[in-house]
Amino acid sequence: QQQVKQSPQSLIVQKGGISIINCAYENTAFDYFPWYQQFPGKGPALLIAIRPDVSEKKEGRFTISFNKSAKQFSLHIMDSQPGDSATYFCAANRGSTLGRLYFGRGTQLTVWP
């Protein structure tokens, strides 16, 4: 059973556009929601993370929006650049207890110049 559902599976965006990736979860015990960026042949790198006490977190061109009642969260990449082309994974866990992360299946983002 997929604890975190991610969409879309792939996304093509024009340079300068906004990339939006969505995730949904079922387990209300989750209280930590990170996003990871992975380039081909590399390990996932933490991009940005949010906890449910805030509805939005912004770091540079990357913003997480969090909707606790809907159990959804999304990543927005503003002014998308070709260098942003990578696979993005959302994840969740019960940050206060055991550390295992539950990952979405990933979104392959391609930004055309």
Partner 1 sequence: NAGVMQNPRHLVRRRGQEARLRCSPMKGHSHVYWYRQLPEEGLKFMVYLQKENIIDESGMPKERFSAEFPKEGPSILRIQQVVRGDSAAYFCASSPQGGGPADTQYFGPGTRLTVL
Interface with partner 1 by CB under 8 A: which residues? 6, 34, 36, 41-46, 49, 51, 89, 93-106
Least distance between partner 1 and beta carbon 8 (Å): 14
Q: Smaller CB distance to partner 1: residue 69 or 97?
A: 97
Cα(17)–Cα(28) distance, rounded to whole angstroms? 33
Helix (H, G, I), strand (E, B) or coil at 84: helix
Report in angstroms the alpha-carbon separations of 32 from 2, 41, 42, 98: 17, 26, 23, 12
Q: Smaller CB distance to partner 1: residue 28 or 113?
A: 28
The tokens for 97 are: 């207890």
9-38-18 Cα angle (round to 5): 55
Q: Smaller CB distance to partner 1: residue 11 or 17?
A: 11
Least distance between partner 1 and beta carbon 72 (Å): 17
Least distance between partner 1 and beta carbon 44 (Å): 5
Q: Smaller CB distance to partner 1: residue 63 or 93?
A: 93
